[in-house]
Structure 1
Amino acid sequence: MSALDFQSLGLSEQQWSRIKELANSLSPEQALWLSGYFAGMDYRLREAGSSGQLPSGKSIGKGADGEVAARPISILFGSETGNSRELASALASGLRVEGCDISLQAMGDYKPRELKSEHDVLIVTSTHGEGDPPATALDFFEFLESKKAPELPHLRYSVLALGDSTYEQFCEAGKRLDRRLEQLGAERLVNRVDCDVDYEDTAADWIRTVTERLKESNDRAQLGDGAADDISSLNPASAAIFDQSNPFEASVIDNFVLTGRGSSKETRHVELSVEGSGLGFEPGDALGIYARNDPRLVEKILESLEMAADAEIVIDGEPRRLDVALSESFELTSGTTRFINKWAELTEAEELDALRGKEQASERAAFLERNHIIDIVSRFPAKGINPNEFIAGLRQMRPRLYSIASSSAFAPDEVHLTVATVRYPLNGEERSGIATGHIADFCETEAMLPVYIQPNPRFRLAADDTPILMVGAGTGVAPFRAFMQEREVRGTSGRSWLVFGERNFHTDFLYQTEWQQWLRDRRLNQMDVAFSRDQSAKAYVQHRLAERSRDVLAWLEEGATLYVCGGRNLAPAIHATLTQILKQEGGHSDVSAAEYLGAMQSDSRYQIDVY
């Protein structure tokens, strides 16, 4: 369709751009479903006719000219793993169907000065680390909490905060926004809701409450009953065959250790078959995996609690065997504040009771760091409790996200992962991470793993002719392998530069032969490596960038897109190094260097994916 065609339909360039972006991300099954979804919307609006009445009895408000009007609502999200984005998208989809004029934006893309012109703002945000906002939302928070923020007496708002109760600053990012908006004079549409990692039911309640409040107070568009009954009813993408709520059972094709003999780490390469799933993904996306608890741990907990494996419990109205539920549905390693409180009630143990309350936050955190759930139930036994009392203190099993290390164009019907196995001693025993331990110890060839695709639109491969500078530490090299495979299939002309870091050259050079082959083929134009433990002075990827500072600036000046992927400490180290390079080689001040990097981020030329 030409520009004239879409404009003749009344679509703006921004709307057309969003439609194209959505269309390119859909599987055939999703596209088919979505066509029916919009056809249904068309029918509903046509049936409303001049009366403004929808077939279901719902009404749409009218403007002075008789055209259908809807109250404008802005939905903003700050997301690290994609959960906030999914919930915000679900809310937006449902409210649009109900006749609301919705603007959905990431906080990083939103101009916060526009808040003074808003009427209703709904915010969904996660918390990163110890109370910090997501990296992509830092500018929004900085503005709102500064003296530049305007008074907002005409604004109504509500905040859905996502977090993890194992952290002391639980949902602090959402709390900060809630407090600040109140200070600026805004009115709460609905009180803030704080969600733990098992957020689905709590989030659905917030969505339902927000929708009902809008129905009561919206004098331009009356919303109908029954909206937001659950998250899936609001989200058209949930009708896809396989997604987070309905994962695909992928079979393991291969699973082997990448690191060499004598390495201080165990990093694995895992290949999964997704043939027949219809799952589509782009380089930069992640794979969500629902792992299982170690069966030996399940057995030890049942033995400690003196509970039968075949005891029946009910989850979401469905009967389940206790051992199966403990294996698949609940996290059984690290304890939480909720578990401490519950177990203190059941056991009446004075030591546990002394850990309860906000005043004991630091002592409780130290205790939970030293003790897993098995340690707590073994040390403080509770006799005669029923299984439902025990699981009431547990949190639901959450999926783990891993950057996809392959291109679907290069390896159709497959997803490759680069997984660092987490193992550590605790209380005289070797412990493992839930997902990485499951993958390493129980996922041999033909084993099955429930998976889904988690899109990552903020980490996207640049245009074919654009130079790319990829900085990866450890398993952070995974998406760059996908980038190079994609560029190989496309036969692109854009230059590529990899800066890779790990511990030791001889044991930890992940995918070494592949990088060297791409170098020989001139698909990879430059590679620098940093192996931190091969010499007395530690060397990291930021040091390699500093050593090549003149080349780094030249690439950036030529329009290269810079990618950073690795552990959370990597991003600030790289940012500081880039700032120094701009000052040293480009003559920038601290202020102009910050503006330079900020402009790169705004133009999607500086993309970060940390975990």
Structure 2
Amino acid sequence: MSPTRLFAAACVVAVWLLLCLWAWRRARRHQASQARALAALSLNADGGSDSDAVLIAYASQTGYAEALAEQTAQSLRAGGLTVHVASLGQLDVARLSGQSPAYRRVLFVVSTYGEGDPPDAAAAFASQMQAAPSRALAGVQVAVLALGDSEYTRFCGFGHQLNDWLHAQGATPLFDMVEVDNGDPAALRHWQHHLSLLTGRSDLPDWQAPDYEPWRLAARTLQNPGSAGGPCYLLTLTPPAHGKPSWLAGDIAEIGPRLERGGPMQAHREYSIASLPEEGAIDLLVRQMPGADGGLGVGSGWLTQVAQVGDQIDLRVRTNRNFHAPDDGRPMILVGNGTGLAGLRALIKARRAAGHRRNWLIFGERNAAHDAFCRADIDVWKADGTLERVDTVYSRDQAQRRYVQHVLREQADALRAWVADGAAIYVCGSLQGMASGVDAALQDVLGDDALQALLHAGRYRRDVY
């Protein structure tokens, strides 16, 4: 054999050996990681560890869910949280439940195998789900990242099965389930957005480089002069000259904010779109929020103070399929507070354009004299019949605080009648306080089984943050 061939053969053997070494070391690291996770689970179950730690449980068939679980853990650790990561196959229901659960917060990152089945490694846990005692997870806060392929009939089937089971076991959602279709980067950005809210750190870096378009800030109007709350602005953003951007009511605008004009871009922020494409611009309803340093938050500061009318705003639209309006004319009950009116405003506009007039708006804010956001729009919709019914509640206009959930309980008979007529319930606004209060009120008025049925039928939808 010639020296050249000998050298080539030696190179092939060397590369093969290096690949074997790499695979062996990777397997050893994975085994060590699994062992550490199991030890942490056992320690927490015995009450010997930090119950404030976040558990990330993954169910993976190809390794993608595991990789996303590790990325999720990195983001939470960057936000200062203690995190443990484990395969769902390492867990049993007993580790998650009990009067003093080992973990108060659990994030699930799960894929679906075939037509709605759990990954092989999660089959044992899925079997235990069927035999779990009722309300076993009361007191546990959860969230689910469901991975799937929409070409399958049961898209994200195991994720939905797990999410339904968690809800039935009394777990409280940290935020609503996020579906990811074939690794959709927009859905993963939405998951990252929730992780930022969970850590209280809005500066967590994006997992993927942003791909924005240059929009322009065309107008900015204060909506609540004299309010006891933070100033809230209605912003109008016009698209770039090329193309005609499209979106649906319920979709989200992702903004690349800056600390100063011309400064470097920060991690993205999300805002509900309050307008329709036919209007030729994106409207946003943005309240000034305090930042960790005592100044304004990066996103609200950029949009309401730093950027000036005429400045470029880096923006991309994210589809939010779970909050799109029904295709038919069924009744709609739209519930929200504060800047949550933005998402509801776009839905009402879409219903008006389609000629669907059986709409009931329930909206809450602080004081009627100062916080009646978009009052002119609502007055027009009431006058022309777009809104069959409007209930506004202002929490500080009476000695006893009242919120939208109080209206739902007070109007229980009307609520049940609308639901019996096929109404869909859409909720938009703050996760803390409002969303949980509305959910509890709906359970009290309609019953848990009926609310679950609405959820499964796509008649109970939320965009909360």
Give the TM-score range, shorter chain. Answer: 0.5 to 0.7
Output the CA distance in 2 between the equivalents of 1:531 and 1:423: 23
CA distance in 2, matches of 1:258, 1:146: 40
> Scaled by the length of structure 2, what TM-score is found?
0.60
Aligned to 1:282: 248
Alignment deviations for residues 78-133 of structure 1 (CA, whole Å, 9 cap, x no partner) = x9xxx9xxxxxxxxxxxxxxxxxxxxxx979999982266899xxxxxxxxx9731
CA–CA separation in structure 1 for the residues paired with 2:428 and 2:247: 18
Contact kept, 8 Å, 1:108 with 1:138, in 2: the verdict is no
Distance, in Å, in 1 between the alignment partners of 2:464 and 2:221 is 24
Identical columns (%): 24
Distance 1:604 1:142 in 2: 13
Query: Equivalent residue of 1:431, what SS?
Result: coil
Deviations 1:420-454 (A, max 9, x none): 1113795xxx5110111111112332111000001
Matched, 1:272 2:237: yes
- 1:583-611 per-position Cα deviation (integer Å, ceiling 9, x unaligned): xxxxxxxxxx2222112111110001111
Q: Is the 8 A contact 1:255 1:443 kept in 2?
A: no
Distance 1:165 1:468, change over 3 A: closer
Cα distance in 2 between the residues matched to 1:119 and 1:580 = 34
Give, in whole Å, the separation in 2 of the partners of 1:108 and 1:480.
31
Residue of structure 2 equivalent to 1:530: 393
In 2 relative to 1, CA 111–516 (structure 1 residues): closer, same or farther, beyond 3 Å? farther
Contiguous gaps of at least 5 residues in structure 2: 1-60, 73-108, 124-139, 147-158, 170-187
Task: Supply the AA of the counterpart residue of 1:559.
Answer: G
Kept in 2: contact 1:108–1:139 (CA 8 A): no
> What is the CA–CA distance in structure 2 between the aligned matches of 1:109 and 1:117, rounded to whole Å?
10
Alignment of 1:435-514 (within 5 A): 435-492=299-356, 494-514=357-377
CA spacing shift, 1:596–1:135, aligned 2, 3 Å: farther
Residues 248 and 277, structure 1, Cα contact 8 Å, conserved in 2:
no
In structure 2, the residue matched to 1:540 is 403
- Partners of 1:503 and 1:556 in 2: CA distance: 28
Contact 1:112 1:144 in 2 (8 A): no
> Which one has more relative contact order, counting CA pairs under 8 Å at least 6 apart?
1
Shift of 1:263: 4.0
User: Any conservation in 2 of the 1:273–1:415 contact (CA below 8 Å)?
Assistant: yes
Tell me, in whole angstroms, the C-alpha distance in 2 between the residues paired with 1:453 and 1:290. Answer: 12
Contact between 1:279 and 1:452, CA under 8 Å: does it hold in 2?
no
8 Å CA contact 1:254, 1:444 repeated in 2:
no
SS at match of 1:115: coil
The match for 1:419 is 286
Instruction: Indicate the SS of the match to 1:469.
Output: strand
> Corresponding residue for 2:459?
605
- Give me the CA root mean square deviation: 3.9
Asked whether the 8 Å contact 2:259–2:306 carries over to 1, the reply is no
Deviations 1:302-358 (A, max 9, x none): xxxxxxxxxxxxxxxxxxxxxx6xx314xxxxxxxxxxxxxxxxxxxxxxxxxxxxx
Read off the aligned partner of 1:471 and give its amino acid letter.
Answer: V
- Measured in 1, the distance between the counterparts of 2:461 and 2:218 equals 31
* Letter matched to residue 450 of structure 1: D
One-letter amino acid matched to 1:328 = P
Quote how far apart the aligned CAs of 1:143 are: 4.4
Residue pair 1:497, 1:526 contacting (<8 A) in 2 also: yes
Q: Distance in 1 between matches of 2:423 and 2:111?
A: 21
Q: Which letter does structure 2 place at the counterpart of 1:545?
A: L
1:114 matched to which residue of 2?
Answer: 117
1:400 lines up with 2:263 in the alignment: no
1:510 Cα deviation from its structure 2 partner: 0.5
1:555/1:142 CA distance change after superposition, 3 Å? closer
| Number of aligned residues | 314
Which amino acid is 2:376 matched to?
A: T
C-alpha distance after superposition, 1:146-183 (max 9, x if no partner): 99xxxxxxxxxxxx99685896799xxxxxxxxxxxxx
> What is the 5 A alignment of 1:58-137?
114-115=117-118, 132-134=142-144
Matched, 1:558 2:429: no
The verdict on how the C-alpha distance between 1:447 and 1:169 changes in structure 2, with shifts beyond 3 A counting, is closer
From 140, 150, 162, give the equivalent of 1:140. Answer: 162
Structure 1 letter corresponding to 2:346: A
Task: Output the amino acid matched with 1:543.
Answer: H
SS, match of residue 506 in structure 1? coil
Offset at residue 476 of structure 1 (A): 0.5
What are structure 1's unaligned runs of at least 5 residues? 1-71, 84-105, 121-129, 148-159, 171-195, 202-243, 296-323, 330-396, 583-592
Any idea what the Cα deviations from partners look like across 1:237-264, whole Å, max 9, x if unmatched? xxxxxxx732111111101111123443
Aligned-pair CA distance for 1:407 = 1.2
Q: 2: CA distance between counterparts of 1:271 and 1:532?
A: 28
TM-score when normalising by structure 1:
0.46
Shift of the 108–146 alpha-carbon distance from structure 1 to 2, 3 Å rule, reads farther
Question: CA offsets, 1:47-97, max 9 Å, x none?
Answer: xxxxxxxxxxxxxxxxxxxxxxxxx969779x9xxx9xxxxxxxxxxxxxx
Structure 2 counterparts to residues 142-541 of structure 1, below 5 A: 143=165, 164=195, 197-200=204-207, 245-275=210-240, 276-294=242-260, 327-329=263-265, 397-409=266-278, 411-412=279-280, 414-423=281-290, 430-492=294-356, 494-541=357-404
